[in-house]
Structure 1
Amino acid sequence: MEKTKELVFIPGPGLGHLISAVETGRKILGRHQYLSITYLLIDMVPNDKALYNYTQSLSSATTPRLRFTNLSRTQPDCTQELNLKNPSAFVTEFICSQKPLVREAVLEIIKFESSQVVGFMVDLFCVSMIDVADEFKIPSYVFFTSSAGFLSVMLRVQTITDEFKQDITEYKDTDKELLIPGFQNQVPAKILPSGMLDKRRTFFLDMYIARRIRGSKGIIVNTFMELETNPIKALLSDGKNPPVYPIGPLINLKHHSDEDESIRRWLDNQPVSSVVFLCFGSWGRFGEEQVKEIAAALERSGYRFLWSLRRPPTDGTVGSPNDYENPEEVLPPGFLERTRGIGKVIGWAPQVAVLSHPAVGGFVSHCGWNSILESIWFGVPIAGWPLYAEQHINTYEMVVELGLAVDINMDSKIMVTSEEIERGIRHLMNGNEIRKKVKEMKEKSHKTLIEGGSSYDFLGRLIDDIVHILHN
């Protein structure tokens, strides 16, 4: 009997990374009937209810060749390290500490004579797991959850660092600009992720990831050719890179109506494209002074708004925010009363459900890559307010390179005034040219996934390459 062909997929910790990884798996299984996928889930947060509920919703009846294995934590006290203060420790210490568990899980798969592991797919934050794949002599592919533009930035900075022997941290607080393959304009060094420019760093996280990426069998990117034409072409033509497979947009379009019924009812009563939606991701939050500036801008603009307002952690860390029990404690006095009827302040937001609603006409966003892809899919223009990581590069690409967004705070001002925010919101809601371009890109994002589309074709190449390796 022919052995079952198994892919091992190691997503980055957290629901956001898992969702796009599962969407990738679904597409692969939909195109090849003899492959199965096992997801090895790294347990960053004990008893993560969102993660549990999501995996439980993927019943074996609907996804019979897609399985999940939860890895028990080997360092239970490591949670305190897992925040944005120390991302290097997150990758090098916590993820690496899970290698024995990954090794055991793979052994469990291959000990059955009917199973053959034919490939590892590892999230960019889990590239250390390539070592485990190498031990088993199994090809490894990196699943890059950000943009092709940022991938090009990472690889270029790695070249500058390793081949040209330049210290990239010297560019901090300068007007230095970088030539990045695939970018038509020079990229200001000041918008690089802060970790790249930190002179105090003991470990260069982005360079570690870039070096490991170059040693992989291929790079799967959650993007599509029609959106990032120039960066993708640059990556494909660079002989130093592994093959690149842009197979996006990978978006989970399902949402639970019981979680957003009150929001949906409110949106149902608003005119088409009249609402500006403010949401800053699972880590996004502001101090009280900045919250008041946002509120003042919304009130003066007169636009209808739906605002996901989150509370910073009370212990002073940079962990995930929570909802306010009473948002009036940080909003200007009387704000909720004065904006009653045209505005709604909420906590956690069901982002896909909101962006898909016809009443939403603009999105003030941190420009995380998943959020950008979702906004494009639904044809909602963005005003970029990046907060951390690669979000400034994403904003630059959307605003300067592609003309698909407007800018609110790409330069990372400590405090953005209400006047600046109001100006950005007005530009967002009145920008007919940008709105037209986003609508056009929406159509392309849908067509690229169907037969004859570029992402459909790249997915076919990826599967063919896995099968080719399998037969050689």
Structure 2
Amino acid sequence: MDLESHVIRVLLDQGKTKIPPIYPVGPILSLDGKSQQGDQDQDSIMAWLDEQPLSSVVFLCFGSMGGFEADQVREIANGLDQSGYRFLWSLPRSAPKGDLGSSIENDNLNEVLPKGFVDRTAHRGKIVKWVSKVQILAHKAIGGFVTHCGWNSILESVWFGVPMATWPLYSEQQLNAFELVKELGLAVEISIDYRLNFGIGKGNYLVTAEEVENGVKRVMNIDDEIRGKVRDIRNLSRKALKVGGSSNHNLGRFIEEVLHI
């Protein structure tokens, strides 16, 4: 209710006569820190984060289906290189199509990444197959999150108060990104091509190194207005689940009305 109050109020008003009752609950999150994909040496990743300054690391994670082809991987790498920021990059060793999967399934990142990238960024960056996203976002070293805008990732980032840079890839993620940036003012966008993402255009859309660089810089230097909104919604998301909070109240109301108590 606190995150999407306007649309929920509209639905509640309509629901008085046209649609069934609505019971807004959430955020519904799994905060046990376990990865569904299996962690890659999570202890060493957390130890590396422990060594980084407060809010100094940008975290890039594009979900379980967020693979890229080799040319896009190189653009991301060059953008991170040019940004100068510390980074933790979750890069699965396969992609839905193209040559990325076959290129790095055997962990040979040097065949896909720009020449010298690994050596140049070894002191400030870490590339991993998969991580426990919740544990990473909860860490004090994380200062920004480049996300594909899956709803779980958004709610997790909101819960921990981490500013987001949106990079939607498919499905409802485009609408989620629009809501975050344009309606709620909780994120900055890296690149959104509305025509292609909604299937109106043709061809592949390559996000350039410059766009990645600018997006990383923007989210790591996010303005006070957005930072304040992120902090406020973080507090509201936690309050909602407590006794007397909006989600706690709505869940109780649902049980009472269904059971006719």
Instruction: Name the TM tier (shorter chain).
Output: 0.7 to 0.9
Distance of aligned partners of 1:366 and 1:324 in 2 relative to their CA distance in 1, 3 Å threshold: farther
Asked whether the equivalents of residues 295 and 331 of structure 1 are also in contact (C-alpha less than 8 Å), the reply is yes
1:246 aligned onto 2:24: yes
Specify the structure having the higher radius of gyration (Cα).
1
- Contact map agreement 1:355 1:375 (CA 8 A) in 2: yes
**RMSD between aligned residues:** 2.1
Aligned 8 A contact 1:309 1:323 in 2? no
Give distance in 1, aligned partners of 2:168 and 2:106. Answer: 22
Once the two structures are superposed, what CA deviation does each residue of 1:138-174 show, in whole Å capped at 9, x if it has no partner?
xxxxxxxxxxxxxxxxxxxxxxxxxxxxxxxxxxxxx
Shift of 1:390: 0.3
Rounded to whole Å, the distance in 1 between the matches of 2:178 and 2:65 is 20
Corresponding residue of 2:13: 237
Distance, in Å, in 2 between the alignment partners of 1:323 and 1:355 is 26
Whichever structure has more strand as a proportion of its residues is 1
Which residue pairs with 1:383 in the alignment? Answer: 165
2:150 pairs with 1:368:
yes
Q: Is the 8 A contact 2:12 2:21 kept in 1?
A: yes
Question: Residue 231 of structure 2 aligns to which amino acid in structure 1?
Answer: K
Separation in 2, partners of 1:441, 1:371: 15
Partner of 2:210: 419
- CA offsets, 1:342-375, max 9 Å, x none? 0000011210010000000000000000000000
Identity over aligned residues, as a percent? 54
- For these two proteins, the number of residue pairs brought into alignment is 242
How far does residue 256 in structure 1 lie from its aligned partner after superposition?
A: 4.7
- Judge conservation of contact 2:168–2:177 (CA < 8 Å) in 1: yes
Q: Deviations over 1:396-438 (max 9, x none)?
A: 0000001000111222471011111111111111013222211
**Runs of 4 or more off by more than 6 Å in structure 1?**
none
What residue is the counterpart of 1:455 in the other structure? 247
* Counterpart contact for 2:74–2:113, Cα < 8 Å: yes
Q: Do 2:29 and 2:156's aligned partners in 1 also have CA atoms closer than 8 Å? A: yes
Q: Distance in 1 between matches of 2:82 and 2:28?
A: 37
**Where do 5+ consecutive residues of structure 1 fail to align?**
1-224
- Distance in 2 (CA, whole Å) between partners of 1:291 and 1:435 is 29
Q: Which amino acid aligns with 2:136?
A: V
Q: Which residue of 2 aligns with 1:269?
A: 51
C-alpha separation between the residues in 2 aligned to 1:234 and 1:312? 42
Task: Check whether the contact 2:69–2:97 (CA below 8 A) recurs between aligned residues.
Answer: no
Of the three residues 334, 354, 367, the one matched with 2:136 is 354
Q: Distance in 2 between matches of 1:430 and 1:397?
A: 21
Deviations for 1:265-294, whole angstroms, at most 9, x for unmatched residues? 010000010000000001101111111111
Q: Which letter does structure 2 place at the counterpart of 1:279?
A: C
Decide whether the 8 Å contact of 1:309 with 1:324 is kept in 2. no
SS in 2 for 1:371: helix
Equivalent residue number for residue 428 of structure 1: 219
Q: Match for 1:290: what amino acid?
A: Q
Distance 1:360 1:425 in 2: 12
Structure 1 CA distance for aligned equivalents of residues 71 and 50 of structure 2:
32
Hey, what does 2:200 align to over in structure 1?
Answer: none
Aligned partner of 1:407 among 189, 209, 214: 189
Q: Say which SS state the counterpart of residue 88 (structure 2) adopts.
A: strand
